[in-house]
Chain A
Amino acid sequence: MSDCCTTETIDIKVEPRIPGKIRTVALVGPPNSGKSTLFNRLTGLRQKVANYPGVTVEQHVGKLSGIGRSDLMLIDLPGIYSLDSYSEDARVAVDVLHGRMPGTPEPDAVLLVLDSLHLRRQLMLAASILSLRLPTLILLNMSDLMETRGGEVDTLALAQELGAPVARISASRGTGLDAITHFLDRKSEPDVPRNTGRLELPVLGNARSYRQWATGISTRTKYKAPLSSEWTRKLDRLLLHRIVGPLLFLVVVIAVFQVVFSIGQPLSDGFGELLNGAGDRIGAYLGHGWVESLVIDGIWKGVASVLVFLPQILLLFLFIGVLEDSGYLARAALIADRVMRSIGLNGKAFIPLLSAYACAVPAIMATRTIENKRDRFATILVAPFMTCSARLPIYLLMIAAFIPNKPILGDFFGMRAAVMLSLYLLGFLAALATARMLKSSILKTASAPFILELPQYRLPTLRSLGLRVFDRGKVFLKQAGTIILTVTIVLWILSHVPFHATLPDSVIGRVGHWIEPVIRPLGFNWKIGIGLLSSIVAREVIVGTLGTLYGADSLGLQAALHHDLTLGGAMALVVFFAFAMQCTSTLAIVRRETNSWKWPALQFAYMSALAYVAAFATNQIILWLGH
């Protein structure tokens, strides 16, 4: 609160800039004002995504190539309602605008995007932005919609009132953008006078005076709010209906999963075969030797084992994108809030946690919609407990090898299905218990209320969905890719040193032997130990490792495992996988999203400890039962 009102400080810091010359432009606007759409339109694919230093707020930066000004840099600030430091987002915005953000140049001009359908409230943000006295262009977005719905505003009068140019645009259609070009051209020339002090602004920091100021301006500029979208209300009457609402919600959820598994799985399989085929061909060029082994068995297969998830991950990003852009995500949060509250989280955590059933990576990245940092971290920490698709290969293998296919409830529900379902339930319960525990201890929230804005329904554009999937996919590959590459190379070296050693005699094999006393109480042998170590990259790697160790194909492996392990050990293994954090990609993404190694380290330690204890208990109970 206190630092938002001391505008004097910026006047001192203006010096290093070349007066009137623009190099950096900041894009500011409230949430749901179409700011991201405009950013994408102005920068296109050439944008960079990173976290601001020291915080978990994402920074999007791009060149203004969309309007032919590649010499200028556009910084997309997080969506904010005011410059009050209520949220981390607002604090970041204030720091960037004041040039106090390390690594980010002080902006020379501001593009302020306002939703012209709700101009009165949005003007409140304009007051605090204008008080910064930076050259500002005000963009009334969705002006096409405003006009068709009978809204009006005197743009010229508004420009006079605000002492800044005002332009009507439509970010989704790309109209009116030449105003930005004009504004930047004019401001690029030297000696353009800045806004002088004659502008009458409300008392800073006082929301009431902001409101009066905004009301005054909207009256004087003859602003007539357009009729609110009829079909948003009509659609809500159905989608938030007491009975129909939750049912439709369920249908949406099931449909998403159906598509992710029925389309994503074959895509992943096909992609995997393609990668393996390419690996074999590259291997043929390299001949037989340690180079071939490092490149193919080490790097290529390791990276491929993670890349095969890319189709599913991208599909999930696409669905989350559709939900968010259409406006349904907020409704889903509203429907789920009551349930989520019982575990100490809020409704916004629901969709991310649900996505984690396919893959924790997109789920953790989707937690950005949760504004409350502690809620967001709690969601990130519990998401990997949800049964993701990487756990299925080992589940299926062990169940097929050890559980007889006896019917329980007729032909439809047998013993194998029951075990599978229990494993899903186990992960879910672990997530619930952990969330409760976190929310009543280290991530306890004092008094952050759940405030949810329900935006109007919109048809998502292909352009913005495409960019979103592209952008998220890039972040995943970059973050996870680098760490996975390191881990796979290290694991390869450990499993090939000393030279010409077979896997059991290598360093990793010896470690596997060495940890055997530790894992014996769980019913595991040294081969399983090696499998556990190798699957630190990704869970499904253990199936391949066990295949190598037992020298068997799928059916042979089932028989070999059945011979080598007890039922207790086998069930302990799947329980171990239900809880353990055997996924380097997830750890990499958690590090990125929490901006520290502390959280992924805590998560890894906690999940491993829980996995060990639970696997131990499983084995001992089954032994005690006499198997």
Chain B
Amino acid sequence: MAFVDALELPDEVGHHLMHMGFVPDARVIVIRRAPAGDPTVYSIDGFEIALRRETARSIKVRPVEEGS
């Protein structure tokens, strides 16, 4: 589990992802990987969205601190 920090992606793609839930401070959980190991399914805002590693790499997250 982690929080979205920033999206280091071109504006167009970034905004699209934000509308799909990847906004700063949103909580992301890794649900599972595809049988071939990639893409990975993330749960965000109650939705399940799969992203390839190359895209996910550009989404910066910070870990959830203890107690929060």
Q: Is the pair B18, A334 in contact by a Cβ cutoff of 8 Å?
A: no
List residues of chain A with CB within 8 A of the CB of B47. Answer: 118, 121, 453
Tell whether A448 is near chain B: CB-to-CB under 8 Å. yes
Q: Is the pair A84, B16 in contact by a Cβ cutoff of 8 Å?
A: yes
Task: Name the contact of B48 in the complex, choosing from A205, A335, A341, A454 (C-beta under 8 A).
Answer: A454
List residues of chain B with CB within 8 A of the CB of A337. Answer: 34, 36, 38-39, 50, 52
Tell whether A257 is near chain B: CB-to-CB under 8 Å. no
List residues of chain B with CB within 8 A of the CB of A451. Answer: 16-17, 20, 49-51, 55
Q: Which of A7-15, A237-245, A271-279, A286-294 contacts B (4 or more CB under 8 A)?
A: A237-245
Tell whether B46 is near chain A: CB-to-CB under 8 Å. yes
Q: A118-B46, A120-B46, A121-B46 are in contact. Are A449 and B51 (CB under 8 A)?
A: yes
Number of interchain pairs (Cβ within 8 Å): 115
Tell whether B67 is near chain A: CB-to-CB under 8 Å. no
CB-based nearest A residue for B22: A207
Q: Is the pair B34, A338 in contact by a Cβ cutoff of 8 Å?
A: yes
- Smallest CB separation, A226 vs chain B (Å): 9
Q: A453-B48, A453-B49 are in contact. Are A338 and B36 (CB under 8 A)?
A: yes
Task: Name the contact of A449 in the complex, choosing from B11, B24, B54 (C-beta under 8 A).
Answer: B54
List residues of chain A with CB within 8 A of the CB of B49. Answer: 451-454
Tell whether A211 is near chain B: CB-to-CB under 8 Å. yes
Tell whether B60 is near chain A: CB-to-CB under 8 Å. no
Q: Is the pair B11, A1 in contact by a Cβ cutoff of 8 Å?
A: yes
Could you tell me how many residues of chain B have their Cβ less than 8 Å away from some Cβ of chain A? Answer: 34
Tell whether A414 is near chain B: CB-to-CB under 8 Å. no
Tell whether B1 is near chain A: CB-to-CB under 8 Å. no
CA gap between A447 and B57 in the complex, in Å: 14
Q: Is the pair B46, A228 in contact by a Cβ cutoff of 8 Å?
A: yes
List residues of chain A with CB within 8 A of the CB of B15. Answer: 1, 82, 84, 86, 205, 207
Tell whether A450 is near chain B: CB-to-CB under 8 Å. yes
Tell whether A208 is near chain B: CB-to-CB under 8 Å. yes
Provide the A231-266 mask, 1 if CB < 8 A to any CB of B, else 0. Answer: 001001100111101100000000000000000000
- Smallest CB separation, A243 vs chain B (Å): 8
List residues of chain B with CB within 8 A of the CB of A330. Answer: 50
Tell whether A489 is near chain B: CB-to-CB under 8 Å. no
CA gap between A205 and B18 in the complex, in Å: 11
List residues of chain A with CB within 8 A of the CB of B38. Answer: 337-338
- Smallest CB separation, A244 vs chain B (Å): 9
CB-CB contacts below 8 Å: B19-41 with A: 19-21, 23-24, 26, 31-32, 34-39, 41
List residues of chain A with CB within 8 A of the CB of B18. Answer: 207-208, 210-211
Task: Name the contact of A246 in the complex, choosing from B16, B35, B39, B48 (C-beta under 8 A).
Answer: B35
List residues of chain A with CB within 8 A of the CB of B26. Answer: 211
CB-based nearest A residue for B48: A454
CA gap between A228 and B51 in the complex, in Å: 20
List residues of chain A with CB within 8 A of the CB of B12. Answer: 1, 84, 86
- Smallest CB separation, B52 vs chain A (Å): 5
- Smallest CB separation, A90 vs chain B (Å): 9
Provide the A442-473 mask, 1 if CB < 8 A to any CB of B, else 0. Answer: 00000111111110000000000000000000
Q: Is the pair B50, A449 in contact by a Cβ cutoff of 8 Å?
A: no
CA gap between A242 and B36 in the complex, in Å: 7
Q: Is the pair A240, B35 in contact by a Cβ cutoff of 8 Å?
A: yes
CA gap between A337 and B55 in the complex, in Å: 14
> Would you list 17 pairs from A and B whose C-beta atoms are within 8 A, ordered by A residue?
A84-B19, A87-B16, A121-B21, A225-B46, A228-B46, A236-B41, A237-B32, A240-B34, A240-B35, A330-B50, A339-B36, A448-B13, A449-B51, A449-B52, A451-B49, A453-B50, A454-B50
